C-alpha cells in the first residue's frame, strides 16, 4: 500500500484526498467509482499498477539506463563506468546500489544469470531496479558482525537509499531502491 501511495503521489494524487481509508476497502466487493476502486484490486493488480505508475510513460520520468546482461564479477566495473557515462554527473550512491544489487544476484542466484538493470529518474529521485529470474532468493537485511566477511551490501544500500524493496513476479523478482 505504501508503494501505491507513493506512486500515486508522484501524479498529485494522495489517498487521504479520496476521503476513504483504502485498506478498509480491500475486502469490499461492491462496485466503486474512480480511484477509490483501487482499494479493491488484488495484489498482482496493485503491483502492475505500481509498475505502470513508476514507469517511463510520465512527463517527469525518464529511463537513464536499461540493460539486459548475464552477470559475472567482470561486468561490475564496466557497469559502474557505464552508469557514470550515462548519468553524466557524480553518482557514487547510484553506482553503489547497482553494484550491491548485481553482486547479490551473482552471490545468491549465480554467475551467468540474466538480469535487467534499470535506472530511471522520477522527479528529483533516482530509481534503481535489478531484476533476476529467481523469485525464491529474496534479499534479507542483516547486521554483520565485525568478523563477518560478507553481509553488508544491503546495509549499505539501506543507508544511502531513501527506501528499497522487492517486487515479486511470476518470472522472478526486482529489487529496487530510490535515492534523492
- Tell me if 128 sits within 8 A of 158, measured CB to CB: no
Number of H helices, E strands in the chain: 6, 5
Task: Note whether 174 and 97 are same-domain residues.
Answer: yes
- Tell me if 129 sits within 8 A of 175, measured CB to CB: yes
Print the domain residue range for 109.
Answer: 61-179
Task: Note whether 141 and 69 are same-domain residues.
Answer: yes
Q: Tell me phi and psi for residue 86, to 5 degrees.
A: -70, -40
Task: Note whether 72 and 160 are same-domain residues.
Answer: yes
Task: Note whether 153 and 75 are same-domain residues.
Answer: yes
Distance, in Å, from the CA atom of 155 to the CA atom of 165, rounded to the nearest integer, reads: 13
Output the CA angle 170-173-174, nearest 5 degrees. 140
Tens of pLDDT, residues 18-62: 444 445 444 444 444 444 455 555 666 666 666 655 553 333 468
pTM attached to this predicted model? 0.65
Split at pLDDT 50, 70, 90, the class of 8 is low
| Number of structural domains found in the chain | 2
Task: Note whether 170 and 86 are same-domain residues.
Answer: yes
- Tell me if 64 sits within 8 A of 17, measured CB to CB: no
pLDDT greater than 90 at residue 76: yes
Residue-level pLDDT at 147: 76
Task: Note whether 23 and 71 are same-domain residues.
Answer: no
Most confident of 40-44, 115-119, 150-154, 168-172: 115-119
Q: Is 70 exposed, middle or buried (0-12, 13-18, 19+ CB in 10 A)?
A: exposed
User: Helix (H, G, I), strand (E, B), or coil: what is residue 104?
Assistant: helix
Task: Note whether 21 and 50 are same-domain residues.
Answer: yes
Amino acid at each position: 500500500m505504501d508503494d501505491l501511495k507513493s506512486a500515486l503521489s508522484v501524479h498529485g494524487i494522495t489517498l487521504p484526498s479520496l476521503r476513504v481509508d483504502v485498506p478498509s476497502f480491500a475486502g469490499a466487493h461492491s462496485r466503486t467509482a474512480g480511484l477509490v476502486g483501487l482499494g479493491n484490486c488484488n495484489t498482482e493488480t496493485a503491483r502492475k499498477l505500481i509498475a505502470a505508475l513508476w514507469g517511463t510513460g510520465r512527463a517527469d520520468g525518464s529511463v537513464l539506463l536499461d540493460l539486459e546482461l548475464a552477470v559475472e564479477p567482470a561486468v561490475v566495473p564496466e557497469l559502474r563506468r557505464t552508469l557514470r557515462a550515462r548519468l553524466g554527473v557524480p553518482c557514487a550512491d547510484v553506482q553503489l546500489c547497482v553494484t550491491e544489487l548485481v553482486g547479490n544476484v551473482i552471490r545468491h542466484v549465480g554467475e551467468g544469470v540474466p538480469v535487467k538493470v534499470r535506472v530511471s529518474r522520477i522527479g528529483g529521485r533516482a530509481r534503481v531496479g535489478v531484476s533476476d529470474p529467481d523469485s525464491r532468493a529474496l534479499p534479507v537485511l542483516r547486521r554483520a558482525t565485525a568478523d563477518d566477511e560478507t553481509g553488508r551490501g544491503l546495509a549499505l544500500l539501506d543507508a544511502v537509499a531513501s527506501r528499497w524493496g522487492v517486487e515479486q513476479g511470476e518470472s522472478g523478482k526486482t529489487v529496487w531502491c530510490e535515492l534523492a
